[in-house]
Structures are given as structure tokens and as C-alpha cells.
Structure 1
């Protein structure tokens, strides 16, 4: 008998998340129907819930939430050759047109016609069953579980940032912000050969986890520290100005520290999305020939992220702190909003047969 339960988490507006039944979708010729397994809560999901928007992306109609996800293939469209029913996959949420200049030159994440899960007006995948283009479903190796599969989305952001910075063996790095994205950037930089990494945050609990994940030095930022104090401490701990600095906070003061700290010929990678306009020390960056590089999501980075985890070079399991069932979606988002229990990565299990390990 065909499944009937397609419980779905739908965001109707600010602080208005509803669970409702939706029809089970039918895959197109190039798509697969997935039994959704694990969906992580991203900071962007929380922004849409509490603010109804992120920058130019505004929730104007009911939207299925969720984009950090893994699933199991249930059915394949007639043109699908790379997957079969039973395959476990990490779902890359951005599907481009494949025809424009950006797609053809490899920067498909910049496609003007990009479909991206849970970015208005596109629906996400926090639901029992979901259809996705098969070539953006990445098969998981046997030694990776579905929870790790869902973490491949944020990890791909860290991988993309480190590729943009050109991280190589022996590099010294600064990461500003020890939230989930700062931590996956730390993991990626270590895996790519960075020898010394200093990470900053305002919370001890985040810095303690960063230390466990491989940070060589941590700096707790408090209001008594001047910008110059922080820059001097970074350089003192690393023994030299960083080759690359990553802002994972979006906070103006952190971007300033990144530009002032980074050494001559180095790179500053902006990951966090902050204010539309900032007051930044660009002349020091100019005179040091510091490259300022922005990143937006990722492209061609899922295979790298999966290989790093399957090979053992990266362990993402310490990032996972909370588990909820799909029926508990509102409780899960309340935890994300309040930060009660110091969550890092909250996972929601969509498969009704899931049992806690």
C-alpha cells in the first residue's frame, strides 16, 4: 500500500510554523522521490521564523522550511541513472538552470534561476516525502550515516570558504565566530592543512567546543577589549599575522578585525551575512594587498565534504547536540531560538520509524 503520511513543516509567517499534511509528490523524469530522513536547523531558518526575511529574501507566502538534509531514495524518474531505490543521499539544496553563463563556467551557485530549498519563494524539505533533481543528490558511502549526511550542507560552506582562501599546508588562520559555520570552517581548514588556527567568540561554551575540534588558540571577546587589543592578541598567539581570516559572524567589528589582522598578501573571506553597509578599514587592506573575498553558499563542494568525512579527516558528529522528531518541529525551533542547552546543530528526524540510538 502506498504511503499516505506526508507530514510537512510549513512557515506561514513570523513565529507561525504549522505542521500539516501535503500530497506526496511525484518525481519528474530527472528527479528522485525521497523518504526524508534528517533535516538540520540552520540559522537562516530561524531568521525566517522570527523576522520573516533575510536581506532581500522575504517570506510572502507559506513556505516549507528546511534545507540541511539527507534522505533515502524511494522512486526514480525514468531518466535517472546515478541512483536507485534504497540509496542514502545528502541533498544539495540548490539546483541551477544548467544553461546560463554561470552554470557553464562552474559557478552554478550564482545562477539567476537557482532553485534553493527554503529560500523564498522556493519550498524546502522538512517533510516526510520530497522530490529533488537526482544529480544534486549525493550518494553517501557505507561508512557515513544519515545524520552526517545532513551536516554536509553546512560543511560545504566551510569547504567553499577554505577553497576561496586557498588554504594550504602550514597556513595560519583566524576565524571570527564559533557558531556552526565558524566551526565547520575550522574543521575544513584543519583538513586542508592549516597548521595554526585562532578562533574568537563571546561565549566560553562555543570556544570550548572549538578547542575540542582542533582550534589551537581561542580568544573570548568582551566589551573591555579594544580593536587594537584583539588584533595584537591574534598576531601574538599565531606568532605572525594570519595568512587567511574568515568572518563567520557578519558583525562589523569582526570584519574590521579580520582586515586589520591579516598579513600582507593574505586573504579575508566574508561568510557571515551582516549589515548592508559597514564602516571598514580598507586602506590598511589595500596597502597590504589583502584580497577580500565573499562567498555565497558553495559549488562543487559536496563531493569534497563527503570525502573528508568518509576518509576520517573530519568528524562532524561533535557538532550534533539535539534530536527531535518531525512532530516536535516547533519545540526544535524553540530550542534554536532560545539557545537553551547550548545547541550547535539541531537535527529533526522526518522518518517516523527513526529511533534514538
Structure 2
């Protein structure tokens, strides 16, 4: 640690090779940009994967890279054209900057932008630093009712909002969510906020299921049999008739994918939110004969962050319950070890201590 550092950053050099480095303070390169003094950063599975493996699919860490992308902070400087924010404002930081010019961007699907510069995805640096630069419209002002630690959870909540919007969940529907990690739990919460009447959380870890039942799920299920048998049991235990209206996989695990397809009613909707192996077996016959709606979900798009903030501000979702612990910035690597070990639900790094 450098006591006189201006922009101390947590840098990944290789697998399990990290260091603290004083980087230059970002400059305002565009009049619509702001500089954020980062306060809290949550640790995501993708951050841990880069630390543990040095790559995720085609994204390989070839040069030293600052980690982190689930952050909140305080505006420290604004560009000359900024109108919606001022120095001192508390903000949630949406950490991906699209080109704004390609067809996906112009169609309102900027999360599919091929030129996306996403924090802590090679070759772009992340937010585990003292300062970070973002466009004004990718910073979401937090009302006084939302703390900065809660603000860091707007990122995984934005992911969950996007998944549930992809599923088109409507009032009265039944939803089965596979994986009771942070995103799966938040999918349960968003589905509940959207009016789903039955929300079944599925996981192999009992502590997570216990938390899910207390947090947002109406019921829980621990898979013990084959995919088809598990699906039949979920339907039977929860009186789902011909099956659930919506199945969401937030685990990326093949048995969950299979169970999700089998648990749906004819004409139901399946959304793949969790990322697992690049290729896996798939129950294509069931998907076809039930004429299912199959969708992927990637990060978040237009309106997702804004809605995430509104859901928390209105009290419809309580993200504070997900925060298991806070680790000081100087001990940042310990947070990665804790997340890898499956400790708690969401660990935050506090940049202020």
C-alpha cells in the first residue's frame, strides 16, 4: 500500500497475482463525463474467475488489469456539459460504456454492443480504484434513502431486472429460479415486485435456500433426483398444474438447465441468465414439443439500472439484507478468497478504510 497514492488501484497481473498500484487519476476526456470517487465495490463471480483462472472464455487477461465492476461512489468532478449531477452526489455506477452508434445501440440494446468497454473485462480496467471516469448518463443518483453500500448492489440488481424483463413476468404468474446466489435471489425479488404469486428458489445449499425463503421466495426446493424427476416434484409440491409459467436459470449448471425446461408448462418462458460451460447437452425435444420461449440474458440494458434504483427506493426490494460483510480496501484479496469459498451472500470492499 502506498500512503501518498493519488489513485490507488487493485491490479490483477496473473492467476492469484495481485498488487496495489498508484495509477494516474482519470481525466475528463468528454464534457459529458464525470469522475467518481469510488466508495464501495461488490465482488462478483466473474471477478473471482479472472483472479482464479486469468480468463473467461475469449476474454483473457494479457496485461495488468484493475478488477471490480459492482460499485458506488461520490461525484468528485463533472464535465462542462454535465447537467444532471454535481460534485458530492452519491451514485450507482453502471460500468459498461457502449459505442452508441452501432445497430444494437441504436435499437436500444446497447448491452449487445460489439465495442462495449466493460469494467474489469480485458482489456478494460475496473472500478477497484480510488477514482473512475464514466459518462454522466451511466451514473445513477442515489436518493438519501439508499446508502452507498446498497448502491453497489444496483449492478447485480440491474442484472436481475434485465433477466426478469426478458422473461416478461406479469402479475399472477409462477416462476422457478435456479441458483440462490446473489443474482438468483435478486431475480426472486424482482419477480415478486413484478407481481409473481409463486416463486420457487432451487439450490443444493440449504443455507442459501433458508435465506431465499426469508428474502423473496415463496417456496424452495433442493434437487436430489434426475432433472425430469426434480421437475415433476417441483410441480407437485407447488401445485403448478401443467408447469410453471417462467423458469430462470441463474446457475449455469447443466442439470438446472434441464430441470428448468422440464418444469415449464407448454408455451412457458425459459431465460438463461447464468453462464456455465460454453457447450452442454440440452433437452431440445421438450423445448420443441412444449413450444417454449427460450431467451438469453446478458448484463443489463436501457432502463434496467434506473428501475433497480426505483425498486430499492420504493422499499419493494431490500438489498441491504444481501450484504454479508465488508472488507477494507487494503485486504481486497481476502474478499476474493471469501467469495470463492462461498462465504455469505455478497461481500463488499470498502474503499474508505
> In which range does the TM-score fall when normalised by the shorter chain?
over 0.9
Q: Deviations over 1:165-216 (max 9, x none)?
A: 1101111011111111111111111111010011111111100110111211
**Range 75-84 or range 189-198, more displaced:** 75-84
* Contact 2:5–2:22 (Cα < 8 Å) also in 1: no
In 1, distance between residues paired with 2:187 and 2:245?
A: 15
**Range 96-105 or range 16-25, more displaced:** 16-25
Tell me what 1:89 maps to: 91
* Contact 1:197–1:238 (Cα < 8 Å) also in 2: no
**Normalised by the size of structure 2, how large is the TM-score?**
0.96
* Contact 1:35–1:351 (Cα < 8 Å) also in 2: no
Tell me what 2:341 maps to: 338
Match of 1:74 among 53, 73, 76: 76
Q: Deviations over 1:232-274 (max 9, x none)?
A: 1111122121100001111111101111111111100001111
Name the SS for the 2:213 alignment partner.
Answer: helix
Name the SS for the 1:273 alignment partner.
Answer: coil
CA RMSD, 1 decimal: 1.1
Task: After TM superposition, list the pairs within 5 Å mapping 1:1-357 onto structure 2.
Answer: 4-28=5-29, 29-222=31-224, 225-240=225-240, 241-300=243-302, 301-339=304-342, 342-352=343-353
In 1, distance between residues paired with 2:253 and 2:5?
A: 46
* Gap runs ≥5 in structure 2: none
Q: Deviations over 1:19-71 (max 9, x none)?
A: 12112222222211111111000000000000111111111110000000001
In 2, distance between residues paired with 1:52 and 1:279?
A: 26
Name the SS for the 1:266 alignment partner.
Answer: strand
In 1, distance between residues paired with 2:305 and 2:170?
A: 19
Number of residue pairs the alignment of both structures matches: 346
* Contact 1:172–1:238 (Cα < 8 Å) also in 2: no
In 1, distance between residues paired with 2:175 and 2:139?
A: 32
* Contact 1:27–1:132 (Cα < 8 Å) also in 2: no
* Contact 1:217–1:237 (Cα < 8 Å) also in 2: no
**Normalised by the size of structure 1, how large is the TM-score?**
0.95
* Gap runs ≥5 in structure 1: 353-357
Name the SS for the 2:6 alignment partner.
Answer: coil
